[in-house]
Structure 1
């Protein structure tokens, strides 16, 4: 009997690995390239949960990045008008095509082959994806700066990355990524996903987050905003007074200040000191002794406006 039970468990595992939906799962000879982040979500319960959390509509066009063998793709195709699947690996493209071939779902699937980071994103209403984790940071900002606005994104990330996305001021995970993301969107942690739910299992745990872009976005120059945060979070536990007293920071801001003065026909005094100007701004805005790790979005907006009002820019 123990041998029979082991065999039954093995069959169930194979069914889960194939996923559900039209057509067969991946062929037995297919090898996943973990270097490209190919960890296929095989648990149908979690696949269904992710699709449900996206609250997809029959009229939706959905963007999926890294569809793999299509376990999540086919679930979405059953619910929406169209799925645009972006895949880099031509072998997995073939598996995905075979999955829906000869079914009513085939006409609702569009496959884009190539690197999504090097391509313009198409129009879409929602983005649902088990992302290759190595593209998490660049993709999320490509997504949030994309126009026209999309309604929501439900994305799988490495757990540590997901926790940074939702981190609040004062928490150990709070960083520049947290502030930048939360400036542009509302971010909610939905669920944790253990490594054994993937084939092959990754070395890290995973989490799913829901992202809703703020529409309209805050009236802030994002490049300049990010420039300020890059400086503030270099040493997030130090006071802003100490961080901005760095010679490298003072050289950068003095160069920017002189460009600003030149463009606006402003005369710079002979005894001008960029260090004195910076420290004066921090004192006047009451942020001289503040630390980036406990500052929220409104705090950084006030600091940015304080510098800009005196002609200091960060881009």
Structure 2
């Protein structure tokens, strides 16, 4: 049974057997692991993962594809918008840390990455196919044009490693951009941080990238009685992740 890719779901189906095999090798699935695949589509990754690990949970929004996937033994199908799935609860039910994988819909890949941050303590690792430009932003260092809000909000919590570049012709239909596979491993030791405050700080800092921080973040820090010794004569992309994290450390109260 054929299936026409649906533009509203951002569907681009992986069809290159060599790329599929390389991704599965990178993931290295083992029996007994709690592997969750986001957006399995026609099952290009699903089947080889299932053959290696014996059981798999998939999250699929497209009802036609979900119905097709339910016919495969060993699959638990969660028919839902991935942005509504509670991954922490899923990990609790599976009683193991999650290994999350998937060819993410490019039109909502960033919201998915931020959504998964809420369950990072229940995740062993993540392997995702993404637009290559997004991966470059994820791994960027300070000082470059790719360093931004996404960079800071992911690097403070994950070790991020590009795994594989994937050309458009590996998909049907081919996307108009180059793609890449990335590995994200939660850091074992994480500084004590008010995550909501960090998000607010980073959002304010990058709200006007061309301006010096004294015009944006400086005002915010002054209003909140913070930032003593912080160099505001820089632009947002020039500040290392560790300095943003330090600004978001819990405020010490006097005894």
| TM-score grouping bracket, smaller chain normalisation | 0.7 to 0.9
Contact 1:232 1:292 in 2 (8 A): yes
Q: 1:288 aligns with which of 232, 237, 240?
A: 232
1:117 aligns with 2:83: yes
* CA–CA distance in structure 1, aligned partners of residues 23 and 229 of structure 2: 44
Task: Tell me which stretches of 4 or more aligned residues in structure 1 moved more than 6 Å.
Answer: none
Alignment partner, residue 137 of structure 2: 164
CA distance in 1, matches of 2:104, 2:230: 41
Deviations 1:264-286 (A, max 9, x none): xxxxxxxxxxxxx6xxx55x414
Q: Distance in 2 between matches of 1:301 and 1:95?
A: 45
8 A Cα contact 1:195 1:205, kept in partner: yes
Q: What is the match of residue 18 of structure 2? A: 45
Alignment-derived partner of residue 63 in structure 2: 90
Distance change (3 Å), C-alpha of 1:165 and 1:197: same
Whether contact under 8 Å (1:65, 1:116) holds in the other structure is yes
Unaligned runs of 5+ in 1: 1-26, 101-105, 258-276, 311-315
Tell me the TM-score normalized by structure 2: 0.88
Greater fraction of residues in helix: 1
Report the equivalent of 2:193: 220
Show the counterpart of 1:243: 216
Deviation at 1:117, TM superposition (A): 0.8
Larger radius of gyration: 1
Return the match for 2:160 from 187, 192, 198.
Answer: 187
2:99 to 113, 119, 126: 126
Post-superposition Cα deviations, 1:126-167, rounded to whole Å, max 9, x if no partner, equal 111001112211211222220652211110111111111111
Q: Report the aligned-residue RMSD.
A: 2.3
- Alignment of 1:205 with 2:178, yes or no, is yes
Assess if the C-alpha contact under 8 Å between 1:144 and 1:185 holds in 2: no
Deviation of residue 61 (structure 1)?
1.6
In the TM superposition, residue 215 of structure 1 has moved relative to its aligned partner by 2.9
Structure 1 Cα separation of the partners of residues 106 and 8 of structure 2: 10
Corresponding residue number in structure 1 for 2:169: 196
Q: Is 2:194–2:248's contact at 8 Å kept on the other side of the alignment?
A: no
List runs of 5+ in structure 2 lacking aligned partners.
92-96
User: Larger RCO: Structure 1 or Structure 2 (Cα < 8 Å, ≥ 6 residues apart)?
Assistant: 2
